[in-house]
Amino acid sequence: MHDLLLQGGSVHDGLGAPARTADVAVRGDRVVAVGRDLGPARRSIDVTGHCVTPGFVDAHAHSDGVAFMSEPQPFKLLQGVTTEVVGNCGFSLAPLNDVAAAHAREAWGDLFPGFEPEPMSFANYIDKVTAAGPTNNIAPLVGHGTLRLCANGTRRELADGALDAMRDLANEAMAAGAAGLSSGLIYVPGTYADTDELVAVAAVAGRWGRPYTTHMRNEANHVVDSISEAVEIGRRAGCRVQISHCKVSGTANWGGADQMLAAIHRGRLDGVDVRGDQYPYMAGSTFLAALLPPDALEGGFDRIRAAAADPASLAALRDEFQPSTLWEPASPERTTIIGHLDGSLVGRTLADVAQERGQHAFVVLCQLVTDDPSAMIVVHLMDDTDVERLMADPLLGVGSDNGPPLGVQHPRTWGTFPWLLGEFVRRRGVLGIEQAVRKMTSATAAQFGLLHRGTLQPGAIADIAVFDPDTVDHAGTYAAPNASPTGIPWVVLGGEVVVDDGEFSGARSGRVLRPGLI
Ligand code: ZN
Ligand code: CU
């Protein structure tokens, strides 16, 4: 007797093979058969007209703290996502020491409600998430930025012994089960690292056979150089490379997607297993502070704070330091504030606030970061054609780059997967459904060593998404992003039906996945 039978759907193996009409039988936490006349089951669901696919794997998430929220959060499960890779862009919630925890409290603000930054090892963090109970599985990366905060605070120059300390902490995290190493090379303090430092830390991931993921130094006019740096790190460190949220930023650089893809494919010809991920939108989202010159943030927010009180020194600040690589692509008109302690700013552009205050946008930027260092923005950075070109490439998986499921966030938080299927597969026909499913499942599971996940065949873990290809969609907008997806009625996590006829069961049945372990 099977536990669950999904009957009559169009079954995708997650590897890109043509879908076929079949039943899927589940026993315990496993898929045990795919075919016809599979025998009786305790529960049967008629899924005729629906696609039955492996549960989606979100290659790039920031849900590191979601399990600590007081209510169980269904925002990923409702998209069909059963596993998220978290700890991206160089920041993981662990390890933390006193110095790192103090900085985290200031820089992250309320991004992780229910999580109090305090000294902890990576193993402690995994235990805490497990105890809190995530609603879906997570595979946490350890962040280079977090390691650097622990070893060297927010200073640029590495103190004696700091690099060894980072490597030791990275090794500890890998031993505890980190899925890989991430970097965020536009953020403090990750941005202060040179290539050699990144090679040294990534080599630890390489020794464990785990990937290096990177939010690159420059996603705008130097995107190709940035890929070259990532490839060099992969080659010298001996690890696979995942280029995070692939994009070509800034109107002046639009049309550069083919060059970007060529650089990725060249890296593979040079012997480095380079892949990437992408979210299906023309806008990005990040910290407002990411627009500031990184060197002005050395040692924390004090310099910005002092300057914000004295406009004369602000001008000096602007001229003295190399601007952030985001400053130009994210012109003030294209930058919308989506999170700030002063709620009246939410939904307004930086240009708009600057005009109201009668001040230069850079001055206002410093004022707003001083008032709330963890303020968040949405930035309209990308071109439609570039996004489509990148999406058509089979090397890039899908990653939402979500924020917390709270307040106003980029709609990708609630809609990445259904939006890609509705907009880019059904309406625009940018890619076929088998390819889209492969990019959302096995492409990412393989990159992060998630054993028996990302495929749907006998023996696979029963993480399954069921969606209607004719109606799957997301109606969220930048102004009202948190709509529930449509057309994804059933989601199965480890054999348990956690979304049933569109309703979340409330279960906290997710786990922390460790690479190479089931
Ligand atoms: Zn990033
Ligand atoms: Cu990110």
Share of the chain above pLDDT 70, in %: 100
Ligand nearest to the CA of 61: 2
Question: How many structural domains does the chain have?
Answer: 2
The verdict on 178 and 232 lying in the same domain is yes
| Cα of 503 from ligand 2 centre, angstroms | 28
The ligand minimizing its distance to the Cα of 87 is 2
Helix (H, G, I), strand (E, B) or coil at 448: coil
Residues 158 and 70 in one domain: yes
Angstrom distance (rounded) from CA 143 to CA 392: 29
What percent of the chain stands above pLDDT 90? 93
What pLDDT score was predicted for residue 308?
Answer: 85
Of 243, 221, 226, 410, the C-alpha closest to 328 is 221
Mean pLDDT of 256-266: 98
The rounded Å distance from CA 409 to ligand 1 centre is 15
Asked if 54 contacts 456 with a C-beta cutoff of 8 angstroms, the reply is yes
User: What pLDDT does residue 320 have?
Assistant: 85
In this structure, the answer to whether residues 114 and 176 fall within a common structural domain is yes
Average pLDDT on 448-454 reads 96
Residues 329 and 410 in one domain: no
Tell me: pLDDT of 315 over 80.
Answer: no
pTM of the model: 0.97
Ligand nearest to the Cα of 381, by number: 1
Q: Give the ligand with the smallest distance to the CA of 184.
A: 1
Classify residue 505: in a domain, yes or no: no
- Whether residues 263 and 292 fall in one domain: no
Query: Is it the case that residue 201 has pLDDT exceeding 90?
Result: yes
Report the DSSP pairing between strands 503-504 and 496-500. Answer: antiparallel
> For residues 398 and 58, is the Cβ–Cβ distance under 8 A?
yes
Of 449, 473, 504, the last residue of a domain is 449
| CA 50 – ligand 2 centroid, Å | 31
**Position 314 in a domain:** yes
Co-location of 357 and 397 in the same domain: no
Closest CA to 22 of 12, 10, 14, 38: 10
Q: Let me know if residue 354 belongs to a domain.
A: yes
**How far, in Å, CA of 210 to CA of 237, rounded?**
11
Task: Please check whether residue 425 is in contact with residue 433, taking contact to mean a CB–CB distance below 8 angstroms.
Answer: yes
Residues 334 and 420 in one domain: no
- 413, two tokens: 């938080």
**The pLDDT of residue 313:** 79
**Looking at the structure, do residues 339 and 397 belong to the same domain, yes or no?**
no
List the CATH number of the domain containing 64.
Answer: 3.20.20.140
CB atoms within 10 A of CB 369: 23
Which tens digits make up the pLDDT trace of 124-178? 999 999 999 999 999 999 999 999 999 999 999 999 999 999 999 999 999 999 9
Tell me the pairing of strands 142-143 and 181-184. Answer: parallel
What is the band of 311 on the pLDDT scale with cuts at 50, 70, 90? Answer: confident
How many angstroms separate the alpha carbon of residue 185 from the centre of ligand 1? 9
Contact call for residues 362 and 318 (beta carbons, < 8 A): yes
Task: Specify the pLDDT at position 309.
Answer: 83
Q: What are the φ and ψ backbone dihedral angles of 38, each rounded to 5 degrees?
A: -90, 0
Q: Which of 449, 484, 500 is the last residue of a domain?
A: 449
Rg of the chain (C-alpha set): 22
pLDDT category, 312, cuts 50, 70, 90? confident
The residue whose two tokens read 């569109």 is 502
| Nearest Cα to Cα of residue 216 among 167, 267, 252, 255 | 267
Ligand nearest 379 Cα, by number? 1
Place of tokens 């058969």: 33
d(CA 14, CA 56): 9
State which of 400, 427, 449 marks the end of a domain.
449
Give residue 352's domain range.
Answer: 286-380
Cα–Cα distance between 317 and 320 in angstroms, integer?
5
Mutual angle of helices 257-269 and 223-237, in 10-degree steps: 20
Residue 350 has pLDDT above 80, yes or no: yes
Query: For residue 60, which ligand has an atom nearest its CA?
Result: 2
- In the reported structure, the alpha carbon of residue 184 is separated from the centroid of ligand 1 by a whole-number distance in angstroms of 6
Structure tokens at 25: 């039988």
Report helix, strand or coil for 486: strand
The Cα 54–Cα 515 span in angstroms is 18
For residues 115 and 245, state if they share a domain.
yes
Tokens standing for residue 432: 């076929």
State in Å: Cα 186 to ligand 1 middle.
8
CA of residue 237 to ligand 1 center, whole Å: 21
Phi and psi torsions of 65, nearest 5° = -110, 5
DSSP 8-class letter at 389: H
Pull the structure tokens for residue 483: 């709509």
pLDDT digits (tens, 9 = 90+) for 374-407: 999 999 999 999 999 999 999 999 999 999 999 9
Same domain, 142 and 96: yes
Q: Is the peptide bond before 405 cis (omega within 30 degrees of 0)?
A: no
Distance from Cα 350 to the centre of ligand 2, integer Å = 22
Same domain, 291 and 269: no
Taking 3-state DSSP, the helix, strand and coil percentages for the chain, each rounded to the nearest 5, stand at: 35, 20, 45
Question: How do residues 111-134 score in pLDDT, each as one tens digit?
Answer: 899 999 999 999 999 999 999 999
In a domain? residue 4: no
CA distance 211 to 240: 5
Average pLDDT over residues 243-247: 98
User: Same domain for 261 and 294?
Assistant: no
Residues at Cβ < 5 Å from ligand 1 ion = 89, 215
461 falls within a domain: no
Is 242 a member of any domain?
A: yes
